[in-house]
Amino acid sequence: MPLRHVVTWKMAGDSEEERGRLKAELRDRLESLPSQIDVIRGFEVGVNNAGADDNFDVVLVSEFDDEDGLQQYIHHPVHQEVVAFVRANTVGRAGVDVLF
């Protein structure tokens, strides 16, 4: 059964300029994953440009064939490099996994 994995992050940073740089770097890192992890079936990254301070900054909507595919993605070494960047540069995360 197809699975959609949706995650959103709030970036850290002391200034809007720094948060903007971090948003762009996270977007770039995420967008590099599909070419390196073959279990990804769909992948979209969005960056919030609306300016509302209470909004999250970056969203990922990804799709996998099933839970096993998601777990392979989660544990893949290239994904784990992005996870390390996220943990060092975010102050909030929310996620949901939905079966279709």
CB-CB neighbours of 52 under 10 Å: 7
pLDDT per residue rounded down to tens, the chain (100 residues): 899 999 999 999 999 899 999 999 999 999 999 999 999 999 999 999 887 778 999 999 999 999 999 999 999 999 999 999 999 999 999 999 999 8
Contact (CB, 8 A) for 89 and 8: no
Contact (CB, 8 A) for 7 and 74: no
DSSP string, 8-76: EEEE--SSHHHHHHHHHHHHHHHHTSTTT-TT--EEEEEE--S--TTS-SEEEEEEESSHHHHHHHHH-
